[in-house]
Every structure is written in structure tokens, then in C-alpha cells.
Amino acid sequence: EVQLVESGGGLIKAGGSLRLSCAASGFTFSTYTMNWVRQAPGKGLEWVSFISSSTGYIYYADSVQGRFTISRDNDKHSLYLQMDSLRVEDTAVYYCVRVARNFYGFDIWGQGTVVTVSS
Amino acid sequence: EIVLTQSPGTLSLSPGERATLSCRASQSVSNSFLAWYQQKPGQAPRLLIYSASSRATGIPDRFSGSGSGTDFTLTISRLEPEDFAVYYCHQYGDSPPYTFGQGTKLEIK
């Protein structure tokens, strides 16, 4: 079964750091582009970051540029998001998301991990 | 950055009716890299439509997408009870930043 499982969320004070992980299974992780997408409580979806299969291309939303770092370990079939200098407005469910072949949309989503940043 | 505006914000319909959801982009979406997702409470989004008009694997044929350039539409031909949810459009053209619409809530009338 194709699956993405996030972990690492929790309650953290503003200014702190968290590292999210996403474990992939059921597909050849190293050949897929991956993203992080978040959703604040009661709000819509917000794209956060992109990493190509070989890590040659990395992009961030302006809202997290300079504070978040995306990475991947293809040998461990894992995606990561290092989040530093966290702000209250970073509070959200964070989803690990696979980009389908030929850029046919974001086809596989994890169940999400909750990050709560308190003041 | 391409801004996506969805309308209406809320759509109230009955099972068996036809639903038409709109997504308008602030500039042309390259290669029609426009997708639609369905999200139910407490669940992750599910891909319905990619490349503006292609159904994802396992999606019933009552769901269809159309449009190009800046105007896109998701149509649900005959609503089933399980279709009541929030729907998002999403542009993923060329390279990031990617953007999502603010969502349309489809509720039971």
C-alpha cells in the first residue's frame, strides 16, 4: 500500500524549533518530487515547500523562507521539515504530499501532524 | 504568485442535483496544471481532477473538470450523500510557488 506517515508535531513556544518527518512506503520514494502543505485550524490549504527527487530543486513559500528547511533521505525513504523561529501563525496541520508522475497533481497525502505554537 | 479565487464560498444543494464549482486564476495557469481536491472533516485532501480535466484513479465519472487559461470548473453531475465536503482548486504550473483556492463548501440543503 502506498503510504505517507508524518510525525514530529507537538506543542512548542514561539521562537522554538521542531523537526517533522514523513516516512514513505509502498513506492519508489527516490523517484518522486515531494512537498509539505499545511492547514491552519478552520482555514484552507497552504503550500509550504517543494523538493525534487534528487534534491536538486528546493522552493519555499515566502511565509516560511529563511525559517524552514526541507530535506530528504532517499535511502531512508523519508522527507523532513526543519522548522525554526516558529511563530503563532505557523500553527497548523502539516501534510507530507507526493507529486504524481508527469505532474498529474498531488496524488498521495499523509494523515498530517499537528503543530501548535503558543505565545 | 497566481491567486486562485473560488466561487461560491458555500453551495447548498440536495442529493441528486448537479453542482458547479468555479475557480478563477489571476493569471493564466501554464499547461493547465490545475487540480481539484475534496476534503472531508478530519481527513486529508483527496485528488479528484488533474490537468484541469483528467480524473484521478478511482474517482467516479460523476466528477468532471473543465477549463483552461484562467477559468476552471468542477462539475458533479448528480450529487451523492458522500459528496458533501469542501473542494479546493490548486495550481501547480511550471515551478513553485504553488497556490490553492480558498475552498468551496458543498453542504446539504
What's the pLDDT tens digit per position in B13-41? 999 999 999 999 999 998 789 999 999 99
**Smallest Cα distance from B55 to chain A, Å:** 10
pLDDT confidence of residue A44: 97
pLDDT confidence of residue B93: 79
Per-residue pLDDT band at A87 (split at 50, 70, 90)? very high
Measured CB to CB, residues of chain B less than 8 Å from chain A are 31, 33, 35, 37, 39, 44-47, 49-51, 54, 56-57, 88, 90, 92, 95-103
Query: Residue A55: pLDDT above 80?
Result: no
**CB-hemisphere CA count at 13 Å for B47?**
25
| Residue A19 CA: distances (Å) to CA of A37, A70, B43, B87 | 15, 10, 22, 30
Query: Residue B94: pLDDT above 90?
Result: no
Q: What phi and psi, each to the nearest 5 degrees, are found at residue B16?
A: 95, -20
Nearest chain A residue to B92 by CA distance is A105
Averaged pLDDT for residues B70-99: 95
With residue A107 as reference, give the H or E element that holds it: strand A106-109
Chain A residues within an 8 Å CB radius of B105: none
Averaged pLDDT for residues B79-91: 97
DSSP state of B19: E
Residue B33 CB partners (closer than 8 Å, separation 6+): A103, B51, B91, B92, B93, B94
